[in-house]
Amino acid sequence: MKTGVIVYGQHASSVKEKELAEKCAEHLRSKGRKNVRIGFYHGDPAVDAVLYDMFKEGIDTFVFLPLAIAEGRSTIWLMPAKVHLPDNCGSWAIIDDKDIATRFATALGRDPRMAETLCGKMGTPDDRTGILMLSYGSELSQSSKTAEYYAEKLRGAGWKVECGYSRYGTPVEEAIGRLVDSGVSGIRAIPLFISFDGVSVEPVRKKLEDAPVEVTLEPPVSEMDVFLDILDSKVPEDW
């Protein structure tokens, strides 16, 4: 058995996501992980091509690490299908008539390590400041459950928190309105995003700019060191 690790991003066209994928791969190598590569669902290097190249090098056992905040249609079906798996529970595939063993890791999801780090990063609660959890949203429930998990942890620490979604959930402007109605004079927005760049987030940025109170945009959670450690923990021991 020769093992390999593929950091699996969705959009190579996103400068920030590509930078993150490379950062994750370097972190995994620094932890002693072997045969670490990056691949993307959209764009180059294409994940299926990376998989095939690694297979030709003699690697026959893979773990895929999807760069995703919450499980959804992409991580459950679309991304696995690109690497010859029926879904993210698939454990083997066939390349050139030969079996390869696979493990498709989970998205970040509701992780207590991230929750603890977020609470520490936000510091001492301030009655005049609210926190806005920003999420892309999904037709599936895991996106909202993940956002609400972190929101509830921050509420437990004493903050006023609302969740706003760019799709399939409470609109960002409505979440801002709820915070303003609660009496805050400032908002700290935390993107539950892998990368907060590109045309898809421009409408969200505009809503933050148009808010009736000052909004401070925090870095995406993926830029926190704990995200790298969580990703590493999804790789089997001794790989």
Please report the pLDDT score of residue 122 as a whole number.
98
For residue 167, what pLDDT is reported?
84
Query: Residue 138: its pLDDT value, please?
Result: 76
Sheet arrangement for strand 36-42: 36-42, 3-11, 61-66, 98-104, 92-95
Which stretches of the chain drop beneath a pLDDT of 50?
A: none
Using alpha carbons, select from 53, 47, 60, 45 the residue that is nearest to residue 93. 60
Cβ(39)–Cβ(50) below 8 Å: yes
CA distance 71 to 88: 10
Is residue 58 a contact partner of residue 2, using CB atoms and an 8 Å limit? Answer: yes
Q: How high is the pLDDT of residue 141?
A: 85
